[in-house]
Every structure is written in structure tokens, then in C-alpha cells.
Structure 1
Amino acid sequence: MKAPLLGFIVCAITLVNCSIDYNEAEKFLEKYEGFKIPKLSPNEIQKHPSLQPSFIKALKKMQKYAGIPITGKLDDLTMETMRKPRCGNPDGENEDHENDNKEKRYAVASKWYKTHLTYYIKGSTYTYDLDNKKVEEAVAQAFKYWSDVSALTFERRYSSYNVDIIMYFAKKSHGDSNPFDGPGGVLAHAYFPTNGDVHFDDDEAYTLRSYAGTNLLQIATHEIGHSLGLQHSSIKSAVMAPYYYGYSPNFALQPDDINGIRSLYGSNRPTTPVYTSSTTKTVKSTVKTPVNSYPDPCSLTSIDTFFESKNGFFYVFKGEYYWKLNRYADLQSKIPTKISDGFPGLPNDIDAAFMWFSKSTYFFKGDLYWRFRDGVMQSGFPRRIGKDGFRGVPNNLDSAFVYKGNNVIYFTKGNLYYRYENFRVKDNYPKQFDRIWEGLPAGVDAALAYVNEYNYFFKGSQYYRFNPSTFSVDKGYPKSIAQWWFRCYDSVQDAPSDVRVAEDSDSTERETENDREPINLVENKSLSEIDEEGLLSNAATLKISIIMATSLVVFKLLF
């Protein structure tokens, strides 16, 4: 009963319209405008959000992006606007709500470091509202709006491998941290470069050239703007404005949209005359944008580390750069990001990294280690390995990983490995790596615990898949890192038939039962050694018990 009483008292004190829902407004401002909802008690009435500078500031920001009078008051018009359908991306960061430069209202977030981008529309049936051909035509037209006014070009692909922008329709929770909310409300959302994926809420009724439903062309054009690096515009008529006001027969990019995209990629490519001695004609050639010098993942001869982060993405580090992959092992972009940009405070040339059970990520280099959470380095770091933490772990590591068979942390250095439990290296360690971990080379460069319950080990330009059920490397390994993780092929036909991940599977590659070696739990190893290590998975241990029990029964029957 505290909330209604509080609302009644606030209404009485401030003479506000009690039909306005402050709780709804708070949640809206928290989601889109960066407002933090305060925790209140009945004795903190004077701290009600409607009376707080932070609430007023967020409300003014919302009013600016909605193109309505910037009053800082939660009036009927503001409340009504909050309930309009809109894009699910938060609004921009410009806080000067009353003195904005009227000539520039667009905002930019990030950009692609290339001008030719590829896209893929995922699914055999995109949405039941429109047939596939109409969806494809609408999406192609949406991309064309942007290429017509900038140096960008776009190419549709028919497979998701090595694609810059993946688009699909989904309902409610759909694999990211931003679930849809059913009909109305959020219509779609998109990610900035160099992810760029676009998700449409399939609970909406998508239409084309109709005042009924939600116009797919307009929504797609807006979301692609985000994929290219544009944030929301505070000009109400701009395509990049956050709210959807219905079908527009004369839909087109506005000057603010054009200025924004050109600020990132320039205008249409200029041409310069080129003269030849064999003809008197002037031949025009396109002036190409210089290509930035970045390492090509398809040419890497080794990697530094490979790890999962709390956000569900996987990161490959090499030197001063990193690449990001999603849980389906789809490389988000072949253009890398500098470690200093994505992980501020972290040095280059990292030795090893892994994600702790607390969802913190630990990085190791030389005699120091760092702890990151949600992409932010925690205070008090770096610290000294073995002295301030990770007792017994050596300096200058090769790899660190959580083993899928027993959920224990292991470190490797050369041909030695260390088992880390209860905040220290276990007694009787280190041990010889190649004595227990059958089929793996000494001195691995990196190790990874992946979502499909396998561990992966990387050495040079190759990798090994280690099976906890058999406690050995699977048949057919090692394989090429470039081909299987970075999708380095000249064409789809050149790719192995099982290179893509099944959409309903967590595995990195498809395989048949014939691709696996027969299970041999004790091949070239002492069973007591393996049990002592605790390295076999529970399933494998159960199989051993069954085999031993069956053997004992057979022995008694025969003798």
C-alpha cells in the first residue's frame, strides 16, 4: 500500500495530474534516456522523481527526441508520446536539450571501416505477414536509400557466413538481452557497427503501401541506419527519429539523415578523368576509398587468447587487436577492434584469459592480471599473479580455461599444467601436459570452454576439439582456425559442408556418428590416473562404471 499512498500525497503536494503513471514514465526513461530509478521510502516523498533534477533532465531529453515542447513536466502529451510505437534502441547522448544546434540534430555512435557491406536475411519464412519476395524487395530498397546518398554499397548474401549484417524476425525473447514486448511498443532494434544485426518484432503486423499495420520499409530503413552507426535524431521528420507515426506515402531520407550518414562515410564516390593515349575520349574511373591497414584474420599464424565474455560473445585477441564472434561462431566483422578501444586499461599482447563463474573475465600478461566485468576494468587492478591472487600460478602463461569435464580452472605453460581450486594451485602440481591430455600438443597458444560442452585448444594456425566424454581429441583434428572459426573461403562452394552451425544446435560444427572415434575410455592411460585427476565428465564416469560392472557379471557367469 506504500506506492498508492505515496502517489496520492505527491499528487496533493505538486498538483500534478494523478491519471499520469509515474511508474510507467520512470521505466520508460530508464530504458531509453538513461534515467536511474531511485529507491524511495514513505519518508522520502520530497525525493519523488517528478521533483528530482535527474528525472526532469531525462524527461527533457525524451521530449527533445520526441519533437514535443521541452517542459521537463510529465504532461498528457508526453505520456501519450511515451506510449507510441518506437524503435527499441535508446536515444542519443546529447544532453544539451534546450540549446541544440538546429543545423545538426543527428548523432553518430560508431562506423564500419569499409564501404562495401554484406547482409543476410535469416529464416526460410521471414514473417507470415508478407511473402519472402516482398520482404527481400523492401529490405533491398531500405539499403538503397542509404547507398544513394553515401559512398556505401550493399550486397545481399544467401548464407550467414562472413556477413556483416544479419537480419531476422523474432518474438519476445530471441537470443539477445533485449526481448520484444508483443504488439505495439518496441517495433524493432539494431546493433551499431561492427555488429550491425537487425531484429524485427514479429508480433507486429507488417505491411507495405498501406495505412494499416506497421510499414516494413520505413522500419527497415530506420534500423539499417543504426546498423551503419547512426543514433536517433531529434528532428521529428527524420527517418532516424525514434518514434513511428504511421505509413508515409512520400517516405524518403531527410537532410538530417543524409548529413549524418555522410559524416561517417562521405557522399557518393567522386569520379576523376583519366586520359589514355589510344583514345581522345575521357574515361571516368571511380576513386576508391583507401583501405586501412588491419590484420586479416584469414592470414593469422597464431592467436594470443580466445575467451567468452558475460555478454555471450567470444573474443579472439592478437597483438593490439581483437575480433568478436557470437555463440554460433559467426565472426561479427573481419575488421578488428583495438583492445584499447574495447577494453580500456588492458595492455596488448595478452598471454591468457578466461571467464570466471562469477561472469568476471580475467586477463593475464607477464606477472600481472586484470579483472573486467561488463567491459569495465575493476578498481584495484592490475594485480600480481601469485602474490595478490591466483596463488601458485606461474607468470608468462600460455593459456587458461575452465575444463568442461569437471568445471575446474586450469592453466598451462609449456608442457606443464596447473589445476586451480579453492583459490590456489592444487598440491602435486604442475604435471606433464602431454602425459594426461592425450592428442594435444605442448605449449598451446590458447584454450576455450565453448557452449557446446567441448574444450578447444589452439596452436599456431590450427585448433583441436577435446571431448570430455572420451578424454581425448576428436577424430579429424586439428583443423584450420581460419577456415572453421573465421570462415575464410572464396565462395560458399569452397566451404566444408558442415561449416555452418545448425540454427537449433549449440555445436560449432555438424557431424555424423561416423565422424567420431569409438569411445575408448582408458586408451593408453591408467584409469586410476584419470579418476584421480577428476577430468572425465560425469557421463564418461558413468560409462566406466557400467563397463566395469558388466565385466564383473560376465566374469562370474563364466567362471
Structure 2
Amino acid sequence: MDNSYLRTVFLLAVMSWLGTAGGKHDMNEMSAMMYLDRYGYMDAAMEKMNMSANNYTHDVMVMATRQFQSFMGLKVTGNLDRETKAVMMKPRCGVKDMMGPAYSRRSKRYAHIGNVWEMRTVYYKFTGYSRKLAANLVRSEFKRAAEEWSRYVNVRLVPVWSRRRANVRVKFGRMNHGDPWPFDGPYGVLAHASQPHSEAFVHFDDDEKWTANRRGRNFYQTALHEIGHVLGLDHSTDKDAVMFPTVGENNPELKLHPDDINGIKALYDRRFGRFSLEEEWGQTSQKPATIIDKELCENPQIDVMFSDMNGELLVFKGGKMYGIAPEGGVLPHYPQSISERWPELPSEIQAAFTYSDRGTYFLTGSEVWKYEENNQRAKGFPKLIEEVFPGVPSDVDAAMEWEMDGSLFFFKGDNFWCVKNGPPFKGSIFSWPGIPGNLTAAFRYMGNSHFISGNSYYLFDDVSFEVVRAEIPYPRNVSSTWFGCSEFEEKKATPTSEAHCLQHTVTLMLTFSVFVVSRSIQ
């Protein structure tokens, strides 16, 4: 068996026995030494002192501590003081801090592992999902993190279903999960990733309480960091950088820091040419480029709205499909024909939802159509709704998966049907405070519940179980919130010069009439 594996298992066993692997208790000198060894500081100290490997002397420990303090921006004393131990107990990435060129710390804060991808499109595949976070959320949040890196370099991370095509394999695991670097339970090591190579991977510790919001451990934030590694970046010494080893407060809207951007551009700009989405789109906004679709803006009545297996938000309307940006607005290259992506699917769809990693379901009349990997129609479909979801009526208005517990909700008129492990439970839509009947669409996206009725959009708070209270109250217009029609509506509302003249003429005539009437009364 590989010595590095045995060494890692030994370190974790000692740290677990000491109660420090998960950051739950105080850190003593022995556990601190294990920490410094695990993250490369002991080896770096021995190399700097020209000492043989595995020479764990007091002087090596002091040197390793000094290097750790320097890396983390602490006061460099070589002593295991309270502040140093506090940083050691923070949740963090499992990749070593001191590795490769990072041994001789650089003037630049970012660092490169050494390898880079030689292709512009890197494919990744999920080979294992979380028990804590729904598969569709895992996919969409990982995709969002990958796209944040692709804003600044001409490299794309693209999801695929074929294991043979995947350059990077992504999975969740616990403790000994199939590589030489076991996880350590909750709170300690959150995830780790490899550098770019033929067997590249990203692994997440499924003992963490993963979420897509500010509660628990935010998955997007951790994925953003690990993707930096799989693109070729080492840990940064800049505390504000995404690539800093330890994790700060949850931030589901985290963006790359200039240090991260400089690092990734230094890796790929010379190879593939300078690139950023801002330059490509000719704008400095953080929002993706969108277009205004006149048809959607003039008549925002849609058929369905849902997110597919890749986490992309889609709208169907009269046989056409529109991709919707997370912040709202229609993505370029849309609309497209529904049948282009889902062959043979009818154009009139009443409800659609993605059910974890099982596939995407489309409901029309009394039929259910199911599509799996690569948008291939599942064998035996279409089927009757009664066959697939016994007890659920035909002609439903909307449907969605409640990924908190895997329940399915089907809405029709003023009622809903909840399906989970048995016959459905029928309830009143008014059990959802503030949500009307006769819904147009219901979907889960970015960890929240969303409801649409006509041109009215409702954002639902799953914790307080009510429509979100905001300065601009709900419901809001679907057209301006999701389709980016505010600008279109403003233009439409702005009178033309002819209209201005007519308006002023009417005003003057009314004023003159009032004047004449008042004079005649006198």
C-alpha cells in the first residue's frame, strides 16, 4: 500500500483521537504537528533546513509553525499561540498549502500548481451525489461556480453524462472514500481537488451540512475554491481571495477576487489568448449577456418554467424554448424549438420538473414524458400519469420537486397533490400562504421555491413558509423580473414626439375650456 496513504490515515487517526480533526476541541502540540505535516509545512521546513525526511525535531516544528503563520498572515513567532491554533481549527480545503513552487513563497499572492489544461473545453461528470443537498442543486451550483471562473479565461467547464468523455470526476464521499486522502467528519476538511491531469477529480465531504444558501455549509462557495485547484491554482496567501485555504462566512454570491483573476489569467492568457466575458460582451456588469425578446415582453403568458438536469433555467411558450439567466433576461441564441433538445416531445406542455438525478419529466394532458442523460427519451415513455404517479390527476397546472425530502408537488386549480413513498396527499393551495390557485408554473431554483400565475411572480420563503417580504413587494411582474423586459416596457411607455404633442394639445384645450367656463360664470 502507498506510504502516503498510510501516513494520511495515521495523521487522521491521531487527530481524531485528540478530538481536533473537526475543530471541536483545543489543539495541542501533537495535533498541531499533525496539521502542519498534513498541509506540507513540515516537509517544507525540513527541505529549507536541509534535513532528511521524517526528521520531526523541535526546530523543524518551530520552522513549520513560522511558515504557517507567514502563509496565513499571522504574527510570525514560531510559537503555537492562541491565534495560530484558532486558524488551524477553521474549516478548510484539504489540499496542501506548501507544495511544488509554493515552497519558495512568491511576491505574487496567488500560486500555480504546475499543470494546466491544454484544451479549451474541460468536461466534468458527477459520479456520486450528496445525501444532504438535492442533485439538481448540486449540478446548478457547481455549474454556476465553473462559469464564474470562465468569465475571465477562455476555458469552459462543461457537464457531461458519459464517464469516458469526462476529464474531471466530481463526487461526494465520507471518511475513506477511495483516494489516499480520507475525510475527517464534519467541520474540518470540506473538500479537496487534484490539479489538471487525466484522472482529475473534485471530492466533497458528505458529512458536512451542505446547502445552497447561507445556512449550513454553502456548496457553491466551496465548489468555487475547488474548481480553482482543478484549473491549476494553488492556495493563495491573500485572505480575501477565493483560493485562501480556510473558509470564511457563508457567501452564496461570492465572486472571484482580483488575486484569483490574476492567477488564472497568468495560467491561460498566453496559452489561449486574453479573454473575459466583459470584453466579449462589451460591458462591465457582472450579469451575463442577455437579449430582449419582444414576443415574451408583449405577451408574458408562458406554458412552463423549470430547471433541467444541468441546472439551466428554461421557459416553454408555444413550442419555443427560452434560456433564462439567473438574474433574469433571455440568454443569447434563444428561442429554440423544444424538439431540438428533446426529440419528439409535444409542443404543448402543461408542467415540467427535474426529479433529482432521475430525469426530467414533462406532463401534457394525461401523459408523462421522461428524458434522461443527454436528453434521451426514457424507455417506455410516454406513459399515462396514472401509471407513473398514481392518484395524480390529468391536466395539472404545475409541478415541482421539493428537494428537502424528495417530495413531488402537483398543482391543479386550488389543490395540490404531494407524492412521496405511497399514495398522494391532497391539500389546498391555500396551505401555501399568499400563493394563488390556477398556477402557470412552480419550480425550485437556487434553493428557493418560485411560483408564477399569469404575469405575477411569487418568491416563497421555505423557512418562514410565506411569500418573501421585501421592499419591492411580491407578487412582481414575470416579464420584468425574469424576462428582462423593464427596458422594453420603459421604451413602450415613453410617448413618441407625436404623442407628446397630442398630449400637450389636449392639456392646453382642457385648460382653455376651464378658463372660458370660469369667465362665463363670472
TM-score normalised according to structure 2 size: 0.43
Larger relative contact order (Cα-Cα within 8 Å, sequence gap ≥ 6): 2
More helix by share: 2
What is the TM-score when the length of structure 1 is the normalising length? 0.40
